[in-house]
Amino acid sequence: MQPISSFNDLTSHLAEANCRKKLAVANAIDSHTLEAVLMAVEAGIVEAYLVGDVAAIESPELFEKPSILPFIHIVDKPEVQEATLEAVRMVKEGEADILMKGLVNTDVILRAILDKEKGLLPSGNVLTYNAALEIPGYHKLLFFSDPAVIPYPTLEQRKAMIKYAINTCRKFGFTHPKVALIHATEKPSPKIMFMQDYLDIMQMWRMGEFGDVIMDGPLDIFLALDNERGSIKNVPTPVLGDADVLIFPDFAAANVFYKGVALFAGAQMGGILQGTSKPCVLTSRSESSLSKFYSIAVACILA
Amino acid sequence: MQPISSFNDLTSHLAEANCRKKLAVANAIDSHTLEAVLMAVEAGIVEAYLVGDVAAIESPELFEKPSILPFIHIVDKPEVQEATLEAVRMVKEGEADILMKGLVNTDVILRAILDKEKGLLPSGNVLTYNAALEIPGYHKLLFFSDPAVIPYPTLEQRKAMIKYAINTCRKFGFTHPKVALIHATEKPSPKIMFMQDYLDIMQMWRMGEFGDVIMDGPLDIFLALDNERGSIKNVPTPVLGDADVLIFPDFAAANVFYKGVALFAGAQMGGILQGTSKPCVLTSRSESSLSKFYSIAVACILA
């Protein structure tokens, strides 16, 4: 398999496979969510189940194209909580492959996902967020964790986070992904939070814990992503300027990084929850329809 | 005074003032530092004292222009430590207005700056780093702290950091700067580090501690810097999309943010130490000559 190195590559790859995934959307009534779902239906990658308050749908005329109608199903559930539980149930019971959040508060849908009996998180699994970034100026997709779900990962959580990211890279055709453990500096110091965890992770990597991948850290952003600026530092690293995965020290660093490049470098993001039994798309209101569409595409390749 | 909203504005403003500041450079022998110093001399904003090993200067031919020769003085100090102490002494004793690091390890020059007797940090002052960022796509210069010096600020250090940044904004002609306390989310939660400090800072601001400025936080990057994406969140804030100052929760967040926008959005940075009795330019090896030049310009307006 040729590695998938852009979101365009990804959607073409999925369309060529000609196998629509079933997407259950909890309360898909807002136009941003609907636009994204329609893009995914039109791209030929999903068949959508809109679970929610039919009467509240913002732009019903969006569905009127005959070419997409066969792939849109409405499940009328006027109450948000009820719609959310029904969408989760459909995914849990195999009637759908992917869960997506529409106009639902994040804590409501997270509670449904985390429910021990009726939810989607297998016991013992770590729930985290992983996203692919397409940054104009970077030569491939870049996966990163975690801007939202785990504020300050424990060592065990970070291990799980890295394994999910590696697994995702593999689905995109990167057989030997390069993982960078990112920090403000490449110099480990006991006074700096998470540096010891980084050193422990590096030791586990040397012992084979993460399989056939390249890993280095702590590294700063220049060393991980830019050959030229990285080289000036004279720090030898096999990742130099070519990282596939960025693991950030905490959610604040991950969050400001992606929002900075989204805002000023036109980066697009497609992200999903990791650790669940089926892919879950939980984008935030401030994300564009295009980002939500890319998130659906990332979910499709993992479903 | 018309606010200075780009580095070009800044250097024109300084050149028009027609008052060269005296710059003492510790071990200015590497070409990156020399290029930056020469740019500043040519721009008419400094007169330079190159304190260091004359025999080791990488590109002596750079000085041969008659127009700049009168503004370059060589102080031969073959030994790095000695050169550093001499440059610090010149600034301390008023023979120079600004200290700049050349090819010296950061810890060596910091030790000289921090020396209680012979250094440049008045007793009780907080030493931190503040920089101006010029990001193509943002409508003005953006000041931020602290990507390098204080990894995890205490409440007192953060207060000082904010005051320095406000003072710097005022020198640039922004009389009512907008300060954003940045985090991954705008929702305060006791589980999130530094959120309590942000709430305390907001309370101090309401009590007048920071003078006539606009402040809000916690805010995420979108709320602070982008009207459109910020508005979608429906979080009312007087800073919305128009911040002058970003205070990051810790140095990792500040560091990955500026390196991301430098790498992928072509942002340029000019930064200096704050808290010292005279401005100190301590750029890192991986910064461009242009960034070093902009750092000198920022130091000039504060000198």
Same domain assignment for residues B202 and B159: yes
Is the model's pLDDT at B67 over the cut of 90? Answer: no
Under 8 Å CB-to-CB from A215, ≥6 apart: which residues?
A178, A179, A180, A181, A201, A202, A205, A239
Category of B275 on φ-ψ map: left (φ > 0), alpha (ψ -120 to 50) or beta:
left
Say yes or no: A106 and A141 in one domain.
Answer: no
For residue A4, report the phi and psi dihedrals to the nearest 5 degrees: -85, 115
Q: What is the mean pLDDT of chain B?
A: 94
- At residue A268, the pLDDT reads 95
Is the model's pLDDT at B285 over the cut of 90? Answer: no
Residues spanned by the domain of B212: 127-270
Question: Are residues A253 and A169 located together in one domain of the fold?
Answer: yes
How large is the average pLDDT for residues B24-33?
A: 91
- pTM here? 0.95
Rounded Cα distance between A35 and B55, Å, is 67
pLDDT at residue A102, rounded to an integer = 93
pLDDT surpasses 80 at A63: no
- Average pLDDT for residues A98-123, to the nearest whole number? 95
pLDDT confidence tier of residue A83, bands split at 50, 70 and 90: very high
Return the closest-CA partner of residue B49 out of B87, B106, B104: B87
| pLDDT at A5 (0 to 100) | 94
Q: What is the CATH number of the domain that holds B36?
A: 3.40.50.10950
What percentage of residues in chain A have a pLDDT greater than 70?
A: 100
Average pLDDT over residues A269-286: 93
| B139 and B225 fall within a common domain | yes
> Is the Cβ pair A222, B138 closer than 8 Å?
no
Give the pLDDT score at A262.
Answer: 95
Specify whether A48 is located in the same domain as A72: yes
Question: Does residue A243 carry a pLDDT above 80?
Answer: yes
Give residue ranges of B with CB < 8 Å to any A CB: 135-138, 147-148, 151-152, 182-185, 191-193, 220-222, 225-226, 229-230, 232-233, 248-257, 259-261, 263-265, 267, 285-286
Q: Is A67 a residue whose pLDDT tops 80?
A: yes
Q: What is the pLDDT of residue B56?
A: 85
Give the model's pLDDT for residue B30: 87
**B130 to chain A, closest Cα gap in Å:** 15
Residue of A129, A235, A255, A269 to mutate when probing chain B, most B C-beta within 10 A: A255
- Determine whether the interchain pair A257/B256 forms a contact, defined as Cβ–Cβ distance below 8 Å: yes
Partners of B181 in beta bridges: B247
Closest-CA distance, A266 to chain B, in angstroms, reads 8
Spatial CA neighbour of A72 closest among A40, A31, A97, A104:
A40
Separation in Å, CA A174 to CA A121, A272, B212: 26, 18, 53
Residues A238, A275, A208: CA angle, nearest 5 degrees? 35
Under the banding of pLDDT at 50, 70 and 90, the label for residue A163 is very high
pLDDT at res. A210:
97
* Strand B142-145 relative to strand B245-247, pairing: parallel
Would the pLDDT of B166 be above 80? yes
Contact B260 A261 (CB under 8 A): yes
Reply yes or no on whether the pLDDT at B60 is more than 80: no
Task: Please give the residue that has the higher pLDDT: either A62 or B118.
Answer: B118
Q: CATH number of the domain that A244 lies in?
A: 3.40.718.10
Alpha-carbon distances of B216 from A228, B176, B183, rounded to whole Å:
37, 13, 11
**Distance from C-alpha of B157 to C-alpha of A100, rounded to nearest angstrom:** 43
Measure CA B67 to chain center: 29
Q: Which residue has the higher pLDDT, A253 or B233?
A: A253
Q: Which residues of chain B make contact with A254, given a CB cutoff of 8 A?
A: 184
| Closest CA of chain A from B270, distance in Å | 17
According to DSSP, the β-strands at B46-52 and B178-182 are: unpaired
Between chain A and chain B, the number of residue pairs with CB atoms below 8 A apart is: 123
Find the residue in A nearest to B231 (Cα). A286
Q: B223: which 2 tokens?
A: 């709320």
Task: Identify which of A248, A245, A277, A25 has the alpha carbon closest to the alpha carbon of residue A142.
Answer: A245
The reported pLDDT for the residue numbered A56 is: 85
> Are residues B39 and B140 both part of a single domain?
no
Q: Which amino acid is at B178?
A: K
Inspect the interface and report whether the beta carbons of B137 and A264 lie closer than 8 Å.
Answer: yes
Confidence grade of residue A183 (pLDDT, cut at 50, 70, 90): very high
Calculate how close chain B gets to A7, using CA atoms only, in Å: 18
pLDDT of A286 > 90? The answer is no
pLDDT in tens, B181-193: 999 999 999 899 9
A53, A87: one domain: yes
Answer yes or no: is pLDDT of A264 > 90.
Answer: yes
Query: In this structure, are residues A213 and A178 in contact, taking their beta carbons and an 8 Å threshold?
Result: yes
From B245's Cα to the closest Cα of chain A, the distance in A is 15
Phi, psi of B48 (to 5 degrees): -110, 140
Q: Do A250 and B251 touch (CB under 8 A)?
A: no
All residues of chain B having their beta carbon less than 8 Å from the beta carbon of residue A261 are 260-261, 264-265
Give the ipTM.
Answer: 0.95
| Continuous H helices in A140-249 | 155-171, 195-206, 221-225, 227-232
Number of Cβ atoms within 10 Å of the Cβ of A203: 10
Mean pLDDT throughout A168-172? 96
Q: B33 — phi, psi (to 5°)?
A: -65, -45
pLDDT of residue B171 exceeding 80: yes
Length of chain A: 303
The pLDDT of residue B115 is 96
Q: Confidence class of residue B46 from pLDDT cuts 50, 70 and 90?
A: very high
Predicted confidence (pLDDT) at residue A54 exceeds the cutoff of 90: no
Per-residue pLDDT at B1: 77
pLDDT of residue B284: 82
Coil vs helix vs strand at A23: strand
Assess whether B102 and B142 both reside in one domain.
Answer: no
Pairing of strands B245-247, A21-26: unpaired
Q: How far apart are CA A266 and CA A252, in angstroms?
A: 20
- Angstrom CA distances, A71 to A24, A37, A120, A257, stand at 12, 11, 25, 37
* Domain count within chain A: 2
DSSP letter (8 states) at residue B52: E
Nearest to A264 among B138, B232, B251 (CB): B138
pLDDT at B62: 76
Helix, strand or coil, per DSSP, at residue A112: helix
B221 and A260: CB-CB below 8 Å?
Answer: yes
Mutate to test the interface with B, among A144, A286, A292 (most CBs of B within 10 A): A286
The pLDDT of residue B126: 97
Give the model's confidence band at A64: pLDDT under 50 very low, under 70 low, under 90 confident, else very high: confident
Mean pLDDT of B66-74: 91
- Predicted confidence band of residue B118 (pLDDT cuts 50, 70, 90): very high
| Cα→Cα distances B250→A192, A273, B256, B302, Å | 11, 26, 11, 25
Cα distance between residue B208 and residue B65, in whole Å: 52
Q: Distance of CA A185 to CAs A122, A249, B284, Å?
A: 36, 11, 12
Residue B218: asked if its preceding bond is cis (omega within 30°), the reply is yes
Shortest CA gap A72–chain B (Å):
27
pLDDT in tens, A6-18: 999 999 999 999 8
- Identify the CA nearest to B48 among candidates B18, B76, B28: B28
Average pLDDT over residues B122-135: 96
pLDDT score recorded for residue B173: 95
C-alpha to C-alpha distance for A143 and A247, rounded to whole angstroms: 9
Query: Would you state the pLDDT for residue B178?
Result: 98
B233-246 per-position pLDDT tens digit: 888 999 999 999 99
User: CB under 8 Å to B244, separation ≥6 — which residues?
Assistant: B140, B141, B142, B143, B169, B174, B177, B178, B179
Write out the H or E segment, with its range, that includes residue B292: helix B289-302
Q: Is the Cβ pair A229, B260 closer than 8 Å?
A: no
Residues B105, B133 within the same domain: no
Instruction: Tell whether B132 and B266 lie within a shared domain.
Output: yes
Q: Within this chain, do residues A29 and A2 fall inside the same structural domain, yes or no?
A: yes
Task: Reply yes or no on whether the pLDDT at B286 is more than 80.
Answer: no
Q: What is the mean pLDDT of residues A203-221?
A: 97
Query: Same domain for B164 and B82?
Result: no
CA closest to B223 among chain A residues: A286
